[in-house]
Structure 1
């Protein structure tokens, strides 16, 4: 699973399995089964409730990665939210992937966090992406925004 997650091709994983002494490598159907297991774990993580505590501080960011979509390699936005509780504990609140990080995309992502129980946001920290800042103001009314010092 780890090799596949790091983008190693099925053929290379097969070669690795053989190099480790297995008589046969790994089939495409076995890779599909492994990926299905990973998909269910990721879905459970992404859908878990966030109502167990409040997160007064939320960091938001995005990066772009290459992904295969409809048999083409394209650039995709991967956005992530990290919450910090009042006692300083950090937790990944959620992430999602989309075509770009426009305002509608950020708004949908933030609304999904809120629907899962994210409450108590007092300060959001992010870059100054206009769509993100507008989405924050629309979804978390009254929360302050601060530009991330790294950005």
Structure 2
């Protein structure tokens, strides 16, 4: 994401403008923390999970066609 876009988003959300150099400075400080989190070891810990998806199926009832959702879960 460009510094210009971040500056614009901050202004829209917070009502205050920030310079592109300020955004760059923050990015430089955050990058090492983000990289450390992304590269952390996940071994030795169990992580519960739940995967969910929806499949829409065309159904005919009483001479009408419409979509019904079939919710699929695994975990």
TM-score for the superposition, normalised by structure 2:
0.39
TM-score for the superposition, normalised by structure 1:
0.24
Q: Which has the larger radius of gyration?
A: 2
